[in-house]
Structures are given as structure tokens and as C-alpha cells.
Amino acid sequence: DAGVTQSPTHLIKTRGQQVTLRCSPKSGHDTVSWYQQALGQGPQFIFQYYEEEERQRGNFPDRFSGHQFPNYSSELNVNALLLGDSALYLCASSLSSADTQYFGPGTRLTVL
Amino acid sequence: AQSVTQLDSQVPVFEEAPVELRCNYSSSVSVYLFWYVQYPNQGLQLLLKYLSGSTLVKGINGFEAEFNKSQTSFHLRKPSVHISDTAEYFCAVSDLHDYKLSFGAGTTVTVRA
């Protein structure tokens, strides 16, 4: 049973560029959440997708957007990258909104 | 809104010694509580969770945690640690009608021989 997978593993971008990160949920899961983990800190909630809609959003600017596909996979898009967007981006999936979230290995984004 | 405070940022411990990681939370409603572990350059792995029922929760790798509602705490313990337990540990909370996890800042556990 495959767990949560994310791609790419690492990514280097320059300020002002745009980036797309991808996530495939654990088999049978229909809900995907995205988190940002800055160096030395705990993860911060960005948003959650369920039934292809954003259901809840954390305190992140509109530069952060997402999408969920009919097969429940998800993308995180970040526009106009800033140096402060450098972080580990974690995707988590769950069977239902309030159920346990299972995390992927993350995508390390470096903005130069 | 919920918040989580992990009272120790770093915990050095000798191999085969016990360890306790402290976590306090604040919330105006009933909550679910979780402990996750993060090994270097990896994602988060669920250690254990409290949803309801018995306040003593057993997880993987010999870890356990006790939910104390009156003290709003969810401390993690292991009676005997191994070198392989060296990692970052995160306490997290979500309320029963919310969708997000709120994490503490993490506790770095370093196990020495």
C-alpha cells in the first residue's frame, strides 16, 4: 500500500518565479492538506482540499493556491516567490476531514 | 483557535534511559491530540494519537502518551530509548470541527551511547 508521495524532492527557484508542487494521497484517502515547515519550526497549515474544493485556509497570502483533481491528487502553486518561501512543503492525506493525517516526505524548496 | 507549547526545545538523553517530552495545549473546545516524529531530511511519521476513550495511549516504537484534560497536557514518554530514537518530535492538536493541525515548535531528542 503506497503512502503519500510528493514530487519533486528538491527544487531551486529564484525570486519572482512560480512553482508547482505535487502530491498523491495514500490509497483510499480523499482529503489533502498542505503545510509549510520553515527551518527549525513546526509545520504551518496552508490549506485543505476536499471534493476538489478548498475547504479551509490558513494564514497564507493569495500567492499560495492549490488544486485537487478527481483522483484526489493535489497541486500547490506559489507565485512571485520570495526568499521567505524557502521551506519544506509537506502534503498530508486523510480519509475524512477530522481523521488522522498521514504525511509525505516533503518537497524542499529553496528560493535564491 | 488552538495552540501548542512544547516545553523543551532540546532533550539530550543516554541510551537505555527514559525520556519524557512535554506538551501543553490551549483550546476552548474538545480536541484530538497527536505526536509525530521527524527523522533528518524526512517527512512526519505518526507516533500515536488521542481521539477519545482511555487517557493512556500507546504508539509505535514503545512510545506512550497520557492525556490530562485538567492540565491540558499530552506528554510523551518512552521507558528506554535507543540511538535510533534521535529525531525531532512534534506535538499537534486539532479540534473536533476543524480541519487543520496546529503544531508545536518541536523537541529535538539526541540519544547518546
Find the mean pLDDT for residues A58-63: 96
Rounded Cα distance between A44 and A37, Å, is 6
Q: For residue A64, what is its C-alpha cell?
A: 499560495
B49 touches chain A (CB under 8 A): yes
Q: How confident is the model at residue B27 (pLDDT cuts 50, 70, 90)?
A: confident
**pLDDT tens readout for residues A5-31:** 999 999 999 999 999 999 999 998 999
Q: What are phi and psi of B84, to 5 degrees?
A: -70, -10
Identify which of A40, A48, A102 has the shortest CB distance to residue B99.
Answer: A48
A42 to chain B: which residues are within 8 Å by CB? 4, 90, 92, 103-106
Most distant CA atoms of chain A, gap in Å:
38
Find the mean pLDDT for residues B25-36: 89
Rounded Cα distance between B82 and B89, Å, is 15
Tell how many helices (H) and how many strands (E) occur in chain B. 0, 12
pLDDT of B34 strictly over 80 = yes
A56 to chain B: which residues are within 8 Å by CB? 98-100
Identify which of A48, A58, A90 has the shortest CB distance to residue B44.
Answer: A90
Residue A59: closest C-alpha in chain B: B100
